[in-house]
Structure 1
Amino acid sequence: MKIKNYDGIIEHHKSVKSTNLMAIEKIQKNEDFDWLIADYQTDGRGRSSNVWDSPVGGLYATRVIKDNNLDYSHISQISILSSVIIAYTINKFIDGWNIKLKWPNDILIGGDKLCGILIQTLNHDNNFYIIIGFGINVKKPSVKTQGKYAYLGEINKEVIIDKLFDELIRNFNKIINKWDYGNNFEEFRNYWMKLSSDIGKQVTVVDQKTNKSGIFECIDESGNLILRIENDLIKINTGDVFLN
């Protein structure tokens, strides 16, 4: 898979409801772009429609991939890749810190959430699009936010959002190209498992229909969570993971 070997078409906005929502609207209007970035979002969303606090001082960006060689079967791998892209990116600024990855695509420092990722898909005008939204906490806001979060700027006060975004673009291009439609996924799968916060632990996986408890065994060659329940291995492709 080959992504353009440059930054692409980048649109910067002061304020949007959501960079992913704006991306979908622009696709439906047949507008050409690669990245959207905003200073803040008024209606930021995470997985399962969870609210993602998006005050000024964070990096809120969406990358769109238009590629008819991709389909829904690639989404779990791309979810894992997106976490790896962020891990590579923030490691540039806080090398040596204990970065952990939480399935499917959260990034933690000290047990607190530093970054969330929202992946959506769209079929439009006979083309398949994958919309990947990144929200990275950089500067700690003065107003109280919901939940426990980590902030990159609290660890390295020299972090500049523009440089962080440049590093994100560079790692996105490098990793997606190397992944090559899954031909080289194993390298990134192993990297993800090395940084996993939960592999080998007793967890409960919750989705909209069921709760399953067992040992988080690994992620498979597609990026699915493999849960050991007694002597059975169960494949899970969606849900939220909680330590027991």
Structure 2
Amino acid sequence: MKFKKFIFKKVNSTNLTAINILKKTKLNYGMIVADLQSKGKGQYGRKWISIKGNLFVSFFYNLDKIDLSLKKLTKLNSNLVKKTISNFYKKKILFKEPNDLLINGKKICGILQETIYKKENKFLVIGIGINILKNPVILDYPTTNLCEITGKNIKKNDVEKLLKFNFEKKFYNYFRNK
């Protein structure tokens, strides 16, 4: 399975862009990538702080043929992101419910899932923000980034390509075994 990729310089939010594309097309699977978000969304209506050089991506897919609960999909999606990050950082990465990945107690990634209905079809939109180059300073919530913790110059495109590959491979295998 291949996710059709849409690339933008700047969007309000990759999730909102995914929802708009989803509603205007007949696609069942897609991926939105942006260099910047002006109104990135976090959990519980919070703002996601978007810093240029970090990865902002949303995937969407049709849930009609997927017989997993949203809780299991949350775990699956976070594991795919965790697997991607672990390719660059070999030490422990923790999942903190409901939607964060932490390294050494510091947030490296946020994941926001939203269910959307289009006619009789149900879709899941997964927004992912990974701190690659810089991390925001958030009062009472420590953050980090991949370049800082690895001491390496990690390219955003390398992380993006691997993330896309991991999502495509997982869903290809899932549907192949159906």
TM-score, normalization by structure 1: 0.65
Q: How does 1:191-230 map to 2 (within 5 A)?
A: none
Query: Do residues 14 (structure 1) and 9 (structure 2) align?
Result: yes
Residue 13 (structure 1) shift: 0.6
- 2:145 aligns with 151
- 113, 117, 140: which one aligns with 1:119: 113
Question: 2:164: which partner in 1?
Answer: 169
SS at 1:140 equivalent: coil
Are the aligned partners of 1:61 and 1:134 in contact in 2 as well (CA < 8 Å)? yes
The whole-number CA distance in structure 2 between the counterparts of 1:85 and 1:120 is: 17
- How many angstroms does 1:131 deviate by? 0.5
Q: Counterpart of 1:94 in 2: which secondary structure?
A: coil
Cα distance change of structure 1 residues 139 and 92 upon mapping to structure 2, 3 Å threshold: same
SS at structure 2 position matched to 1:34? strand
Tell me if the contact between 2:51 and 2:134 (Cα under 8 Å) persists in the aligned partners: no
**C-alpha contact (below 8 Å) 1:13/1:38 kept by paired residues:** yes
Q: Please state how far the C-alpha of 1:150 moved relative to its aligned partner.
A: 1.1
Q: Which residue does 1:240 correspond to in 2?
A: none
Match in the other structure for 1:131: 125
Shift of 1:98: 2.4
Give CA deviations for 1:59-99 in whole Å, capped at 9, x if unaligned: 0000010242247x62111111111111110111111x221
More RCO (CA 8 Å, sep 6+): 2
Candidates 42, 45, 54, aligned match of 1:49: 45
Q: How many residues align?
A: 174
Gapped runs of 5+ residues in structure 2?
none
Q: Partner amino acid for 1:120? A: E
AA aligned opposite 1:104: P
Gaps of 5+ in 1: 184-244
Q: Distance in 1 between matches of 2:30 and 2:107?
A: 26
Q: Displacement, 1:129?
A: 0.9
**Structure that is richer in helix per residue:** 2
| CA deviation profile, 1:94-134 (whole Å, cap 9, x unmatched) | 11x22111123310011010000000011112221110110
Match in the other structure for 2:103 = 109
Aligned to 2:25: 30
| TM superposition shift of 1:10 | 0.7
Which one-letter code corresponds to 1:146 in the other structure?
I
RMSD: 2.3
The 5 A counterparts of 1:64-143 are 64-70=60-66, 74-95=69-90, 97-140=91-134
* Displacement after TM superposition at 1:177 (Å): 4.3
Partner Cα distance (1:25, 1:162) in 2 = 24
For the pair shown, the structure with the greater C-alpha radius of gyration is 1
How many Å apart are 1:175 and its aligned residue?
2.9
Q: Secondary structure at the match of 2:69?
A: helix
Distance 2:78 2:7 in 1: 23
